[in-house]
């Protein structure tokens, strides 16, 4: 049985999609959801899915408490699914090539500190890009610079708003992120 951790800071739609997909595919896995946001909707999704959910603070992430929790569980894969904090180098060192993230753009464009969610989609539209998409990558010590595992593209029309681009990118996330995770497991 493979063990996965899913870290999320917000709504948790990707976390729910991943768990539902893996269950429907009959993948032999167990999972725990972790969130740094005690008000995140991902907590409600975890309850609905009957998944354990652990809430931790930023200070617990920085002082080694989160690392200890992750090590005790001996996870095969740690998935960042809308997780907005930078993973400390100490955790990356303990889980080399076992932490993955999904970014709502075609890296290396539109990556780095502050480039998440709607910030990315606004930047894509402002630059009048003809395409956007997703990048699934391993996490290293720098924002959005880890080795790319997978990319998928979508067309950006001149008339698209950031909300339109977000909708297209979410579709790609829901379609591809669970499949890539399944292949990594």
Residues with catalytic roles: 103
Answer positive or negative: Cα dihedral of 165, 170, 171, 177. positive
Asked if 140 contacts 146 with a C-beta cutoff of 8 angstroms, the reply is: yes
In the three-class reduction of DSSP (H, G, I as helix; E, B as strand; rest coil), residue 62 is classed as helix
In the three-class reduction of DSSP (H, G, I as helix; E, B as strand; rest coil), residue 36 is classed as coil
Is there a cis peptide before residue 108, judged by omega within 30 degrees of 0? yes
Q: Looking at the DSSP assignment, which residues form a beta bridge with residue 8?
A: 35
Helix and strand element counts for the chain (H, E): 7, 7
């Amino acid at each position: 049985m493979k063990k996965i951790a899913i870290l999320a800071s917000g709504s948790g739609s990707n976390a729910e999609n991943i768990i539902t997909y893996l269950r429907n595919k009959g993948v032999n896995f167990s999972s725990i959801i972790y969130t740094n946001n005690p008000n995140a909707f991902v907590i409600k999704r975890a309850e609905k899915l009957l998944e354990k959910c652990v809430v931790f603070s930023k200070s617990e992430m920085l002082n080694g408490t989160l690392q200890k929790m992750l090590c005790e569980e001996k996870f095969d894969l740690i998935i960042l699914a809308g997780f907005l904090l930078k993973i400390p180098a100490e955790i990356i060192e303990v889980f080399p090539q076992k932490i993955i993230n999904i970014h709502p753009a075609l890296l290396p464009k539109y990556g780095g500190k502050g480039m998440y969610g709607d910030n990315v989609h606004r930047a894509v539209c402002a630059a009048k890009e003809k395409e956007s998409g997703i990048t699934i990558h391993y996490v290293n010590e720098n924002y959005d610079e880890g080795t790319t595992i997978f990319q998928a593209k979508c067309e950006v029309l001149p008339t698209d708003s950031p909300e339109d681009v977000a909708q297209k990118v979410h579709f790609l996330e829901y379609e591809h992120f669970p499949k890539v995770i399944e292949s990594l497991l």
